[in-house]
Amino acid sequence: MRELILIVDDEPGILTTLSHILEDEGFETIATGSGEEALELYRRRRPAAVFLDVWLPDRDGLEALAAIRELDPEARVIMISGHGTTRTAVKAIKMGAFDYLEKPLSYDRTVETLRAALADLSAPRPLSTAFLEIGAEREELERPFAAPPLLPIVKETELPQRTIAAPGVIYGHGLHSGTRTGMALRPLPPGRGVHFLTLPTGTAIPAHLSAVGETEYATTLTREGEEIRTVEHLLSALHALGVTNLLVKVHGEIPALDGSAVELVRKLEEIGLVDQDAPRREVVIDRRYALEGVGEKLLVIEPAERLEVSYHLRYPPPIGEQFFHFVLTGPEAYREEIAPARTFGFMRDLKMLSELGLGAGGRLDNFILVGEDNIINTELRWPDEFVRHKILDIIGDLYLLGYPLRGKVTARFTGHRENIAIGRTILAAH
């Protein structure tokens, strides 16, 4: 009788390829892209071993590993990932995984690891200390996430709150870390807000100004020694699409994709957005707030009927002086006028960025590289793509107030640091 192997991966190509490999080696296989279904299949079929991806839309691989090992302490689980980290691998092994394989999978290594796992069935291993603590960690993962703090200028509107229709996964590289990364998106109930959850530690970090750490070249959220880098593009897309409740599980840095927010918007709309049975709250600007007096920089937020952003930018050629005024009339306006605008960097700064440990993920297809006289690596999507990206960043950074913003923003020569500073000025005034 052929031994049954369960394959769990959200990529159909991996399911098909790995199934064919193992069947050619004389095994029977069953496959699923769902962590929840994997647990049910394990409960009913009791496979001899499991290949389990780290990134799954409904239940991440570490959670699924814990659940399978709780169901069967002798389960032989081989973790697989193309977007994991050394820390994830170490944690998986401590939790009882037999081994951890990096994608793309080697034919020989895959088969050898499986045969070694099956040979080890005669010598069950005790649960590790890390696994014994997993119950507490799962409670942490499932706890209710607190809503952002309410301020006097946070008002209920006639619009509904919104989340995603189903769990989803997005893969990519970190723009500054350069490492392969991914993020799993999960819906949250009304009134919870946007929250990040670090993998593999399970540290919860709210999308709020109180969690902002670094603002050099990107916005980084930190808590308890953990950090999530480059959150502004994702938050910009969520802000514009009206997504008010969401859980984002991620390794260290949000995937850069093409350096803009357009793929994030596409993926979120592909997953689906659903209105919730609760009124949306917004930060309604009640007076003029300003950061002034730092050279030529200016950042002002004033009352308005909707979110508007005007930005004045000036760099040496080939960028020059640019101005753009954007009114967020709805997701379509953002998708067409702002979302495709990519982040940019200068050849002259590459050495400094490298010394700071930044920009390692800057590939020729995920940002605009500006030389002394020309754009080096791409064609611009608009002549004023640079100023549009500055507006994209502002929309993302200001979502760290915890709620969508209703107000008019006027900015000149500013960046992440000033965006966060004026947000904190608004909080401090209330």
Q: What is the pLDDT of residue 185?
A: 92
Question: How large is the angle between the packed helices 262-271 and 232-241, nearest 10 degrees?
Answer: 50
Residues 362 and 390 in one domain: yes
Are 397 and 371 contacting, i.e. CB atoms less than 8 angstroms apart? no
Q: Which helix (H) or strand (E) holds 136?
A: helix 134-142
Tens digit of each residue's pLDDT (9 = 90 or more) over 292-321: 766 789 999 999 999 999 999 999 999 999
Q: Do 33 and 75 form a contact (C-beta atoms < 8 A)?
A: no
Q: Which amino acid is at 286?
A: D
Catalytic residues: 416
What average pLDDT does the chain have? 87
- What's residue 135's pLDDT? 36
CATH number at 32 reads 3.40.50.2300
Overall number of domains in the chain: 2
The answer to whether residues 191 and 318 belong to one domain is yes
Which domain-ending residue is among 93, 112, 139?
Answer: 139
* Residue finishing a domain among 107, 139, 171: 139
135 and 168 fall within a common domain: no
pLDDT on residue 105:
87
In terms of pLDDT, which residue wins out, 22 or 141? Answer: 22
Judge if 130 and 237 occupy the same domain.
no
Same domain, 162 and 272: yes
Do 214 and 249 lie in a common domain?
Answer: yes
**Shared-domain flag, residues 135 and 148:** no
CATH code of residue 345:
3.30.1700.10
What confidence score (pLDDT) does residue 358 get?
Answer: 42
Q: Is the pLDDT of residue 126 over 90?
A: no
Cβ neighbors of 371 (< 8 A, separation 6 or more) are 318, 346, 347
- In DSSP terms, which residues pair with 230 in a beta bridge? none
What whole-number distance in Å separates Cα of residue 90 and Cα of residue 86? Answer: 6
Same-domain pairing of 150 and 101: no
Max mean pLDDT range (58-62, 64-68, 88-92, 390-394): 390-394
Domain that holds residue 339: 144-428
Instruction: Pick the range with the lowest mean pLDDT from 78-87, 261-270, 303-312.
Output: 78-87
Q: What is the mean pLDDT of residues 192-205?
A: 90
Same domain flag for 296 and 394: yes
State how far the Cα of 368 lies from the Cα of 388, in Å rounded to an integer: 13
Look at residue 298 and give its three-state secondary structure: strand
114 and 174 both lie in a single domain: no
Task: Please tell me whether residues 112 and 163 are part of one structural domain.
Answer: no
Can you tell me the distance from the alpha carbon of 383 to that of 426, in angstroms, rounded to the nearest whole number? 33
Residue 77: how many other CB atoms lie within 10 Å: 25
Token pair 């409904």: residue = 58
- 125: pLDDT strictly greater than 50: no
Give 326-376 pLDDT, tens digit per residue: 999 999 999 999 999 999 988 776 655 454 444 444 455 678 989 888 998
Query: Angle 210-216-219 (CA atoms, 0-180°, nearest 5)?
Result: 40
Mean pLDDT is lowest, of 6-20, 166-180, 209-223, 263-277, for 166-180
Domain boundary among 104, 123, 139: 139
Whether residue 223 sits in one domain with residue 116: no
Contact indicator for 372, 294 with CB cutoff of 8 Å: no
